[in-house]
Amino acid sequence: MGLLGSFLGKDQQRDLASANQQANQYLDTGYNSAYGDYSTAISGYDPYVQSGTKSQTTWDDLMGLNGTGARDAAYGTLSTNPLFTGQLATSSNALARTLNAQGASGGGKAQLAGARVLAETGGNWLDRYAQGGQTGLSATGAKSNALMGRGELSSSYAGAKAGNAVNYGNALAANRNTGINNILGVAGLAVNAMKPTPTFGKVT
């Protein structure tokens, strides 16, 4: 624009707009990047949250906390799970061998021992489900923290954007009178130039 533009304040307005635009671009870039990172982190916790929730539900079901229907269904799932039945088979086969070797293969002792094997195997699985629930709880906490972080990020972003807008507005308002002030300043010089030179008190 040159001297006249600077004189009238247009260049300053353009500089302000450019600076404002650049500041917002930096903000947007940073915000989008950080938001994406948070979102990735949040979704990364999802499988653990879901798995933990299922584990906790299964534990509740097996314990009968959700009613006998849910309990029996959970037992059905357990009794068709190859991992559970494999462990139970191994334990009960070993028990059968021991009882037979001791000649104690019949009667109440065998039944008690069988019940113990069943309870221990089942108890181990209950512990696993409980552990899964704890893992899910930890993942839920971590996810909550990440969600809070993302929320704070959004809040800060909005605040920074608002601050930029206010500053930009203030700067524009301050610059609005630049041209007038400059014109008034020049006019003042001209007026002063036209004034007669005072002669009072002049030493001649």
Partner 1 sequence: MNFLPGWDVGAFMAGGGPAFPEIMGTPAKTEDGTVAGSHNANLPAGIVAGETLVLVCYQVGSPSPAPSGWTLIVASSVYRLAAYQKLATGSEGSSVAVAFQSGFTDCFTAIAFRVKGAIMFAGAASADPNATGPPDPPNLSPGWGTRKILWISCGYAARSASADVQIDGYPSGFTLAQTYAQTNGPSLIKQRLAIAGMNDEVSSKNPPAFSSTPTSGGPGFVAATLAIA
Residues that bind partner 1 (CB under 8 A): 62, 64, 68-69, 71-73, 75-77, 79-80, 82, 85-86, 88-90, 92-93, 95-97, 99-100, 104-107, 110-111, 113-115, 118-119, 122-123, 126
Cα(165)–Cα(171) distance, integer angstroms: 10
CA dihedral 29, 32, 38, 41 (to 10 degrees): -100
Q: Which two tokens stand for residue 124?
A: 């181990």
In the complex, the smallest distance separating the C-beta of residue 53 from partner 1, rounded to whole angstroms, is 20
Query: Nearer to partner 1 by C-beta: 30 or 123?
Result: 123
φ/ψ of 80, rounded to 5, equals: -110, 5
Least separation in angstroms between residue 50's CB and partner 1 is: 20
Measured in residues, the chain has a length of 204
How many CB atoms sit inside 10 A of residue 70's CB? 17
Closest separation in Å from C-beta 25 to partner 1: 51
In the complex, least distance from residue 128 CB atom to partner 1, rounded to whole angstroms: 13
**Cβ–Cβ < 8 Å for 61, 70:** yes
Whose Cβ is closer to partner 1: residue 88's or residue 146's?
A: 88
Q: Which lies closer to partner 1 via its Cβ, residue 5 or residue 114?
A: 114
Listed in sequence order, the DSSP H helices in the chain are 2-8, 10-62, 68-79, 82-102, 107-176, 178-194
Query: Between residues 69 and 201, which has the closer beta carbon with respect to partner 1?
Result: 69
Question: In one letter, which amino acid is 79?
Answer: S
Least Cβ distance, residue 126 to partner 1 (angstroms): 7
Residue closer to partner 1 by CB (options 2, 69) is 69
